[in-house]
Amino acid sequence: MNETKNRRTLIERAQAIFKLVDYEDCSFPKSKLQKVGLNPATAEKWLDLIVYIQKQPRIRLIKTKNTTIIEKHEEKYHTMSREIFMDSERSYKERFDALQDYLSALITSERLKK
């Protein structure tokens, strides 16, 4: 049997990981990723990649007939503020202030683009 026909795409693997994360009610050990066909070493690589990507500025893809354009949607300050307001170990005040800063910076940068 041809193994390449049965291999999942990168998107299918990522979708399987996040489907499991959504299914689980609370924190769970990495070993549960074996349920979606990832051995411990591969699971570790995927988790490192996901965490790295989640810390990067957001981008937007604009697809045209012949090309795909990548547009940075956030600046580093936005990313830093987003990390703070998403950090459940910080106080509500810190998180609220970071959210306000994030929104203010986002509105300002969008106005400057116009």
| pLDDT (tens digit per residue) in 8-21 | 999 999 999 999 99
pLDDT of residue 58 exceeding 90: no
Average pLDDT for 20-27: 91
pTM beyond 0.85, yes or no:
no
| DSSP letters for the chain | --HHHHPPPHHHHHHHHHHHHHH-SS---GGGGGGGT--HHHHHHHHHHHHHHHTSPPEEEEE-SS-EEEEE---HHHHHHHHHHH-TTS-HHHHHHHHHHHHHHHHHHHHHH-
Average pLDDT for 79-104: 89
Domain ranges of the chain: 1-54, 56-114
